[in-house]
Amino acid sequence: MSDPGRGAPRPAPPASRRTGALAAGLCVVLALLGAAAFAVLRPGAAPSGAPGEDAVGALLERRAAAVARGDRAAFLDTVTPALRAPEGRVFDNLRRMPLDAWRERFAGFGDVAPSGEASVRVTVRHRLRGFDRAETGRERTLRLTWHDGGWRVSGSGAGDDPEIWDGGPLRVVTGAASLVIGDAPEVAEISRRLDAAEPVVTSVTGRGWARTSVALAPARPAVARALAGSSSPDLTRIAALATVAPGVDGGRGADRVVVSPGTFTRLTATGRDVVLTHELTHVALDAARDTRTPMWLIEGLADHVGYKRANLGVREAAAELRADVRAGRVPSALPDAAAFSASSDRLTQAYQESWLACRMIARDHGEKILLHLYRTAGRTSESAALRSTLGLSLSRFTAQWRTELRRELG
């Protein structure tokens, strides 16, 4: 659910899938260091084989407790010497975040590890105080090495997705209606823009949502891709997107706006407001969990709200679609889901077509009816929703929209 130029993918439950070249490189080095340390420092009581589940659980408990009470030394005592610098940065980032809970839960033993190491799958769970209604969690792999009389964390999984706390020093800004976390320079600016967007969004969607948002603004595109989830498209075309951080134990997870570094900063001030207001509309309407509402309504309504404060003419904001219309290529149907896929060559036009459809409905019928259509189309068919809310068949509505495109852009 993002925005073109912007462009938005239909978000799917994020999953671990990325192969981290950096992490892989790190693991190779750590494995070598671990082996060396094992040979030199191995105490009298060496372990026999892999650690038991109890030993792993105790180690993970010590890590969570150290984070909770801010005991950096205790946290670093759970890792091998080679890992103290990177894990120290992780600890510092975790302590900057308003965490109600951060813990790693044992999820199973991983693949066979190199000699002297164990591989453990854990679910890293956390909840952001004052913002998240439920815990979120992602699976990661920890490598454990017997070192200095105990099992210690000696590395992470090569294919694990990075988290926001794996980046540089985090800035955390809590605004009136937003929490923004990241190592990108725009953290405070994003918070300010999200705060200003909230009343605009609420004026259209009504007050039946949390009216707060959490945005993640990583400095590295690789982190943004991981946070965006498995369906993450080419983020060089997307400035921000709304997604759901996966829940645990069947929970609903938590809404996140992920800001794409580089792409976002190329936008003008107006463009940044449009994009963030657009994404906040998705959050307010729970679009990232919506599998029924037609995409043209999801994206068109978000753009309608996004453009409300922007002093931009239609011909300027829909320049690509205008070129098509003026060349005689007036679309024959509202854009379908495929038109919004990252590989669609008419992605930009799909957004513009949707925006103009929703803009027309808001102008001719009012925003309340537009919202009513949106909600109805999430429960019934598109044509039934159009008929019951606008009194129009799908073909009649499509004809009106095509006339609108010619009039506004021709």
Task: Name the minimum Å distance from CB 272 to Zn ion.
Answer: 15
Comparison of 153 and 302: residue with beta carbon closer to Zn ion: 302
Let me know if 59 is exposed, middle or buried by CB neighbors in 10 A (0-12, 13-18, 19+): buried
Angle 31-36-37 from CA coordinates, rounded to 5°: 95
Q: Contact letters (x/-) for Zn ion, 245-284, by CB under 5 A?
A: ----------------------------------------
Stretches 113-121, 254-262, 267-275, 292-300: which one binds Zn ion (CB under 5 A)? 292-300
Taking a C-beta distance cutoff of 8 angstroms, is the pair 39, 241 a contact? no
Q: What letter does residue 114 receive in the DSSP assignment?
A: S
Task: Name the minimum Å distance from CB 276 to Zn ion.
Answer: 11
Secondary structure (3-state) at 358: helix
Stretches 158-166, 186-194, 208-216, 294-302: which one binds Zn ion (CB under 5 A)? 294-302
Secondary structure (3-state) at 317: helix
* Residues ≥6 apart with Cβ < 8 Å to 395: none
Listed residue (357, 350, 337, 343) closest to 399, CA to CA:
357
Amino acid identity of residue 134, one-letter, is A
Secondary structure (3-state) at 34: helix
Region 298-357 residues binding Zn ion, contact defined as CB under 5 A: 299, 302
Comparison of 3 and 104: residue with beta carbon closer to Zn ion: 3
Residue nearest to Zn ion (CB): 8
Task: Name the minimum Å distance from CB 341 to Zn ion.
Answer: 13
DSSP secondary structure letters along 202-228: HHHH-S-S---EEEEE-SSHHHHHHHH
Task: Name the minimum Å distance from CB 287 to Zn ion.
Answer: 7
Comparison of 1 and 59: residue with beta carbon closer to Zn ion: 1
Stretches 2-10, 123-131, 168-176, 397-405: which one binds Zn ion (CB under 5 A)? 2-10
Task: Name the minimum Å distance from CB 84 to Zn ion.
Answer: 42
Comparison of 266 and 396: residue with beta carbon closer to Zn ion: 266
Comparison of 1 and 153: residue with beta carbon closer to Zn ion: 1
Comparison of 59 and 358: residue with beta carbon closer to Zn ion: 358
Comparison of 113 and 317: residue with beta carbon closer to Zn ion: 317
Stretches 125-133, 295-303, 315-323, 397-405: which one binds Zn ion (CB under 5 A)? 295-303
Task: Name the minimum Å distance from CB 196 to Zn ion.
Answer: 19
Stretches 1-9, 147-155, 156-164, 397-405: which one binds Zn ion (CB under 5 A)? 1-9
In the sheet that holds 240-245, the strands lie side by side as 171-174, 178-182, 213-217, 254-259, 240-245
Listed residue (188, 146, 248, 206) closest to 367, CA to CA:
206
Q: Does position 1 bind Zn ion by CB under 5 A? A: yes
Let me know if 342 is exposed, middle or buried by CB neighbors in 10 A (0-12, 13-18, 19+): middle
Task: Name the minimum Å distance from CB 258 to Zn ion.
Answer: 12
* Residues ≥6 apart with Cβ < 8 Å to 67: 75, 91, 94, 95, 99, 102, 103
Task: Name the minimum Å distance from CB 332 to Zn ion.
Answer: 23
Taking a C-beta distance cutoff of 8 angstroms, is the pair 116, 46 a contact? no
List phi, psi (to 5°) of 123.
-100, 115
Comparison of 79 and 215: residue with beta carbon closer to Zn ion: 215
Q: How many residues bind Zn ion (CB under 5 A)?
A: 6
Comparison of 56 and 302: residue with beta carbon closer to Zn ion: 302
Comparison of 202 and 293: residue with beta carbon closer to Zn ion: 293
Task: Name the minimum Å distance from CB 147 to Zn ion.
Answer: 48
Residue 256: other Cβ atoms inside 10 A: 28
Q: Does position 362 bind Zn ion by CB under 5 A? A: no
- Determine the angle formed by the axes of helices 347-365 and 319-326, rounding to 10 degrees: 90
Contact with Zn ion (CB under 5 A): which of 4, 5, 7, 8? 8
* CA gyration radius, the chain: 24
Task: Name the minimum Å distance from CB 302 to Zn ion.
Answer: 5
Chain residues binding Zn ion by CB under 5 A are 1-3, 8, 299, 302
